[in-house]
């Protein structure tokens, strides 16, 4: 249902929860639509953190080149980077763009109606910059704290 709704609406945001569920089931603490405040702030679709490792996912319905451009930016502050696409397009991407995917070490996540699957595991980023990663982790923590609901005030009852 999520995939067909996303395709009809041309809205990749509908797929974020399926990718988030996949990462969460694999032990990651997950946030979606995380803003990274660098020279020019930009949004990362899905971010997972586990044992000090940062994983970023760029989700697109199609348009490999745009996903590639955005994912390349993530290599400097994320240990691992995935490209996420609907199942059919993900299979096409692996066949058609294998050389580029291997060159940068991106993983591929395929998304169907029910869930997300890893088709290709990512390699650790060779472009990782420790200070950029630290800054990104601070941004993640700040945004997670800001979106958590405040506990109920027991004195108000």
Residues 16-29: tens digit of each pLDDT? 999 999 999 999 99
Range in 75-79, 138-142, 146-150 with the lowest mean pLDDT:
146-150
Helices (H), 53-114: 64-74, 87-96, 98-104
- Total structural domains in the chain? 1
Tokens standing for 63? 């348009």
Nearest to residue 12, comparing CAs of 60, 44, 57? Answer: 60
For residue 39, the model assigns a pLDDT of 72
For residue 1, the model assigns a pLDDT of 57
For residue 11, the model assigns a pLDDT of 82
For residue 151, the model assigns a pLDDT of 45
Strand 80-86: give its sheet, edge to edge.
Answer: 29-36, 42-50, 53-59, 80-86, 107-111, 116-120
Nearest to residue 84, comparing CAs of 104, 54, 103, 56? Answer: 56
Using the predicted structure, report yes or no on whether residue 155 has a pLDDT greater than 50. Answer: no
**Residues 81-124: tens digit of each pLDDT:** 999 999 999 999 999 999 999 999 999 999 998 999 999 999 99
Range of the domain at 23: 2-143
Look at residue 37 and tell me if it is in a domain.
Answer: yes
Tokens standing for 124? 């650790």
Tokens standing for 48? 């997972």
Q: Whole-prediction pTM value?
A: 0.85
Look at residue 149 and tell me if it is in a domain.
Answer: no
- CATH number where 129 lies: 3.40.1350.10
């Amino acid at each position: 249902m999520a995939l067909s709704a996303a395709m009809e609406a041309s809205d990749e945001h509908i797929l974020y929860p399926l990718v988030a569920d996949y990462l969460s089931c694999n032990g990651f603490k997950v946030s979606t639509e995380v803003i990274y405040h660098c020279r020019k702030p930009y949004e990362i679709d899905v971010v997972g953190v586990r044992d000090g490792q940062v994983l970023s996912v760029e989700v697109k319905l199609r348009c490999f080149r745009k996903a590639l451009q955005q994912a390349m930016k993530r290599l400097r502050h994320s240990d691992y980077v995935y490209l996420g696409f609907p199942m059919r397009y993900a299979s096409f991407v692996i066949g058609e763009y294998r050389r580029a995917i291997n060159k940068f070490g991106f993983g591929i996540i395929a998304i169907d109606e029910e869930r997300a699957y890893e088709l290709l595991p990512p390699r650790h980023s060779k472009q990782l910059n420790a200070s950029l990663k630290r800054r990104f982790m601070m941004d993640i923590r700040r945004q997670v704290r800001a979106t958590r609901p405040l506990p109920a005030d027991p004195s108000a009852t």
